[in-house]
């Protein structure tokens, strides 16, 4: 399995999802080698083999080094087709691959001439190492090659420049290279990769190993960047998704976008909703003081709609002045939003602590009366499930995957600031509504666990791996 991040060091729902899913899969006797750009050493993953691809070897959480022999590997492979033979020992190995960069970090204003070119030349080099080129990859390889030649052309370079730093592409390239190299020493039945950063690696490994490849789509470029799409990333997504044997989308919302934007065959896409992982709940330190607390938690970027949150919040304050808003997260829109609040002279109602992690996140959830996720485009929205887990009712945009699985949420179109404000006011005014919402949503939440998601993923595996 190829991943880009893993708790506790995460920037969004991707890492959380990788942890939840691998735990669910491991419970169902799936043996996972998990390849990471790099590891911080804080990861807890006794359920699988975690590799740092930078170092090129595996970190074996629960295993003594001798237990991980090739033979062991042979009998307990990623495949579920052999799951009956897998004992409870099944686990994942993480392999970290060096990457200091998040795919979501704010843009670095640097020229990126030639980055893609390098990336794809390297990629093509891998492809050429293998003399057998299965026909199904021909077309995609050709286009990738073309892209690599054109990649110095200005539109790609400038779009890269506008949204991401060149380092990110450099990291993706390195990850691809190292993951391919690490994978050559592993025994596995299929490849499962999470989001675009790992797709080139997945396709390369699939090509070299002749093993089927599942690409898991947690978000696509248009979700992250709206109209200012990075053409390079879109191209990677387009080519990889077309080359993949099977695709898992986190929602029907995302599935529809894949069909619409990338022209993917709907039969190839299976929707597997995310789950929510149980954890120890902490208690709120808040006193009953007649004040309301509303929480936004996510990257402060276009995709998450923080500006709609702030505009709606200002409208709420006109009617419920005893309300406090927390905008937790970091991103390129933070300064502009701080300014907006300052202009309105309502700073004392807003708390913008920046990026929260671990216990701070838990604290933010338990202290909230209401969680608001006004995302412009949200493939799933795992944090809204976490809010529910903390007994915080949610307002979500209709443009979200979570909207499909939680009917008992307040919903508005993200652009409808008046409605967003109205829902906040209503939810804050009437604890009766909040309790009804929660009572019903909690029941819906019960069916959204990672075990259930893992079952669906295994079904996808089973269609690909025939014994």
Q: Which of 150, 367, 444, 455 binds another protein (CB under 8 A)?
A: 444
Least separation in angstroms between residue 417's CB and another protein is 11
Nearer to another protein, 118 or 422 (CB): 422
Nearer to another protein, 85 or 407 (CB): 407
> 60 exposed, middle or buried (CB, 10 Å; 0-12, 13-18, 19+)?
middle
Q: Copy the structure tokens of residue 184.
A: 């050559």
Least separation in angstroms between residue 394's CB and another protein is 11
Least separation in angstroms between residue 210's CB and another protein is 45
Nearer to another protein, 31 or 414 (CB): 414
Q: Which of 194, 211, 229, 411 binds another protein (CB under 8 A)?
A: 411
Nearer to another protein, 67 or 442 (CB): 442
Least separation in angstroms between residue 444's CB and another protein is 6
Nearer to another protein, 236 or 405 (CB): 405
Nearer to another protein, 373 or 410 (CB): 410
Least separation in angstroms between residue 367's CB and another protein is 23
Least separation in angstroms between residue 253's CB and another protein is 17
Least separation in angstroms between residue 108's CB and another protein is 42
b/e 403-434 (16+ beta carbons within 10 angstroms → b): bebbebbbbbebebbebbbbbbbebbeeeeeb
- For 86-237, strand residue ranges (E) read 92-95, 191-194, 213-217
Residue pair 218/195 in contact by the 8 Å Cβ criterion: yes
Cα–Cα distance for residue pair 361/383, rounded to 1 Å: 10
Nearest CA-CA partner of 271 in 294, 254, 292? 254
Per the listing, tokens 């069916």 go with 447
Least separation in angstroms between residue 63's CB and another protein is 43
Other CB atoms within a 10 A radius of the CB of residue 282 amount to 13
263: left (phi over 0), alpha (psi -120 to 50) or beta: left
Nearer to another protein, 282 or 319 (CB): 319
Least separation in angstroms between residue 388's CB and another protein is 14
Nearest CA-CA partner of 24 in 459, 402, 357? 459
Nearer to another protein, 244 or 406 (CB): 406
Helix, strand, or coil (residue 307): helix
Which range binds another protein by CB under 8 A, 188-196, 232-240, 245-253, 404-412? 404-412
Nearest CA-CA partner of 412 in 433, 388, 396? 396
Alpha helices in 5-153 (DSSP H): 13-27, 70-75, 115-129, 138-150
Q: Which of 372, 385, 410, 464 binds another protein (CB under 8 A)?
A: 410
Helix and strand element counts for the chain (H, E): 18, 14
The 412-441 site mask, x for binding another protein (CB under 8 A), equals ------xx-xxx-xx--xx-xx-xxx-xx-
The 227-246 site mask, x for binding another protein (CB under 8 A), equals --------------------
> 318 exposed, middle or buried (CB, 10 Å; 0-12, 13-18, 19+)?
exposed
Total of residues contacting another protein (CB under 8 A): 25
Least separation in angstroms between residue 437's CB and another protein is 7
The 47-76 site mask, x for binding another protein (CB under 8 A), equals ------------------------------
Residue 370 is a binding residue for another protein (CB under 8 A):
no
71 contacts: CB under 8 Å, gap ≥ 6: none
Q: What is the DSSP string of 440-459?
A: HHHHHHHT--HHHHHHHHHH
Cα–Cα distance for residue pair 397/376, rounded to 1 Å: 7
Cα–Cα distance for residue pair 434/442, rounded to 1 Å: 12
What does the binding site for another protein look like in residue numbers (CB under 8 A)?
Answer: 315, 318-319, 407-408, 410-411, 418-419, 421-423, 425-426, 429-430, 432-433, 435-437, 439-440, 443-444
């Amino acid at each position: 399995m190829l991943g880009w991040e893993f708790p506790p060091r995460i920037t969004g729902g991707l890492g959380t999802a990788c942890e939840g899913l691998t735990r669910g899969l491991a419970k169902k006797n799936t043996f996972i080698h998990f390849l990471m750009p790099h590891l911080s050493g804080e990861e807890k993953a006794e359920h699988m083999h975690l590799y740092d691809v930078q170092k090129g070897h595996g970190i074996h959480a629960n295993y003594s080094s001798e237990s991980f022999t090739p033979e062991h590997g042979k009998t307990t492979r990623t495949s579920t087709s052999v799951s009956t033979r897998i004992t409870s020992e099944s686990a994942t190995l993480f392999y970290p691959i060096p990457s200091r960069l998040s795919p979501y970090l704010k843009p670095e204003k640097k020229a990126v001439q030639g980055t893609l070119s390098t990336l794809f030349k390297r990629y093509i080099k891998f492809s050429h190492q293998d003399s057998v080129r299965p026909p199904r990859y021909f077309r995609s390889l050709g286009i990738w090659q073309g892209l690599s030649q054109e990649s110095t052309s200005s539109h790609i370079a400038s779009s890269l420049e506008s949204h991401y730093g060149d380092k990110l592409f450099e990291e993706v390239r390195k990850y691809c290279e190292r993951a391919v190299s690490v994978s050559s020493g592993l025994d596995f039945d299929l490849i499962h990769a999470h989001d675009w950063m790992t797709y080139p690696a997945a396709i390369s490994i699939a090509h070299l190993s002749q093993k089927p490849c599942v690409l898991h789509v947690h978000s696509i470029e248009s979700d992250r960047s709206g109209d200012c799409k990075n053409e390079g990333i879109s191209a990677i997504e387009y080519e990889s998704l077309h080359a993949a044997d099977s695709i898992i989308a986190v929602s029907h919302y995302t599935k529809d976008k894949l069909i619409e934007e990338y022209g993917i065959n709907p039969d190839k896409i299976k929707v597997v909703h995310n789950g929510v992982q149980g954890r120890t709940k902490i208690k709120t330190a808040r006193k009953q003081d007649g004040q309301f607390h509303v929480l936004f938690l996510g990257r402060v970027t276009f995709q998450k709609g923080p500006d709609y949150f702030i505009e709606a919040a200002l409208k709420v304050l006109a009617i419920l002045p005893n309300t406090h808003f927390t905008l937790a997260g970091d991103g390129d829109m933070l300064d502009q939003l701080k300014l907006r609040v300052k202009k309105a002279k309502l700073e004392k109602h807003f708390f913008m602590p920046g990026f929260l992690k671990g216990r701070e996140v838990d604290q933010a959830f338990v202290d909230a009366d209401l969680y608001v996720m006004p995302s412009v485009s949200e493939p799933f929205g795992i944090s809204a499930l976490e809010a529910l887990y903390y007994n915080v009712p949610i307002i979500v945009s209709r443009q979200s995957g979570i909207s499909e699985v939680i009917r008992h949420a307040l919903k508005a179109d993200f652009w409808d600031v008046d409605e967003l404000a109205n829902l906040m006011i209503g939810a804050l005014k009437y604890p009766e509504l909040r309790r009804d919402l929660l009572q019903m949503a909690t029941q819906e939440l019960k069916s959204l666990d990672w075990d259930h998601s893992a079952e669906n993923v295994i079904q996808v595996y089973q269609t690909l791996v025939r014994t």
